[in-house]
């Protein structure tokens, strides 16, 4: 049932995106007007999870900040337009793009085969891994130590996919508790309502940096990943223009400066 629903959603999204991103040229051919529409309005809208530090989150003043935020601003500047940020529920990102609520998903979005069915992606710009976060004084050292334990994860995240893809690990645990954001999952870890949380290594690095006496990660990882920018299908002109700007931001050293600000070293893929 889950697979059938996913395929139905994919088909609905594809049809919607096709209708929204292309006009009809003479002879019945589809004309890609995606870049024209972006340039005409003078900005593009980034959909993001605003509780995903250090990629994108709200600071103490409620302002959306983060590595991907600064990178998107630099790319928009390179394109000569502006960028706006729209928080979304992560498990609904396909519908957010299909309905035109956002132009891209750009917030530590892992490139997966399932997402490729719904989105077109930029080239990967950053590497990532899914790690298992436990409390520092917890007895767990390996994935097998978590047999019969409850695992927390953000709903619709690549961390959830990583668990489901590792059949041995998924079949050994007691169950999975889903959360709208990673910070809520980690709050329940501290409260003892889950035994571990699976999340991006960037998430772990951020929270470990804040409180190294609370968290640690297992040495074993649940998967290697690459981050990309997700676009609507058939928005090729816009995707190619943004990719060109991103390539320039990386090559001229701006992305390196942004990386060093948030991570202390250059995380971007050349």
Tell me: the pLDDT tens digits for 66-76? Answer: 999 999 999 99
Q: Where along the chain do its domains lie?
A: 25-127+226-262, 128-225
The full DSSP string for 137-163 is: T-S--SGGGGTT-EEEEETTSHHHHHH
Cα(151)–Cα(159) distance, rounded to whole angstroms? 11
Cβ–Cβ < 8 Å for 267, 127:
yes
Task: Write down the pLDDT at residue 1.
Answer: 35
CATH number of 128-225: 3.40.190.10
Q: CB-based burial of residue 124 (10 Å sphere; 0-12 exposed, 13-18 middle, 19+ buried)?
A: middle
Q: Domain 25-127+226-262, what architecture?
A: 3-Layer(aba) Sandwich (3.40)
Within this chain, domains 25-127+226-262 and 128-225 share the same CATH topology? yes
Tokens representing 220 are 């074993």
pLDDT at 7 over 90: no
pLDDT of residue 28: 56
What confidence score (pLDDT) does residue 31 get? Answer: 87
Tell me: pLDDT of 34 over 70: yes
Model pLDDT, residue 265:
84
How much is the mean pLDDT over the chain?
A: 90
Q: Is the pTM of this model over 0.95?
A: no
Taking only the tens place, the pLDDT of each residue in 197-210 is 999 999 999 999 88
């Amino acid at each position: 049932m889950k697979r059938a629903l996913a395929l139905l959603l994919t088909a609905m999204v594809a049809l919607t995106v096709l209708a929204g991103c292309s006009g009809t040229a003479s002879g019945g051919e589809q004309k890609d007007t995606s870049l024209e529409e972006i340039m005409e309005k003078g900005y593009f809208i980034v959909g993001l999870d605003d509780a995903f530090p250090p990629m994108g989150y709200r600071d103490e003043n409620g302002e959306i900040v983060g590595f991907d935020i600064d990178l998107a601003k630099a790319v928009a500047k390179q394109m000569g337009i502006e960028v706006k940020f729209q928080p979304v529920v992560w498990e609904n990102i396909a519908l957010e793009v299909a309905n035109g609520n956002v132009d891209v998903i750009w917030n530590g979005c892992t490139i997966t085969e399932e997402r490729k069915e719904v989105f077109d992606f930029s080239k990967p710009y950053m590497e990532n891994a899914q790690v298992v976060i436990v409390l520092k004084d917890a007895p767990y050292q390996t994935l097998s130590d978590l047999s019969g334990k409850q695992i927390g994860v953000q709903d619709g995240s690549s961390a959830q996919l990583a668990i489901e893809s590792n059949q041995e690990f998924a079949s050994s645990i007691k169950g999975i508790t889903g959360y709208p954001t990673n910070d809520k999952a980690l709050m329940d870890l501290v409260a003892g309502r889950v035994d571990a949380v699976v999340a991006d290594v960037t998430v772990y690095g951020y929270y470990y940096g804040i409180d190294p006496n609370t968290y640690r990660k297992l040495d074993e990882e649940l998967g290697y990943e690459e981050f990309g920018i997700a676009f609507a299908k058939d928005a090729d002109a816009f995707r190619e223009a943004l990719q060109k700007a991103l390539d320039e931001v990386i090559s001229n050293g701006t992305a390196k400066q942004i990386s060093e600000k948030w991570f202390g070293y250059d995380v971007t893929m050349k």
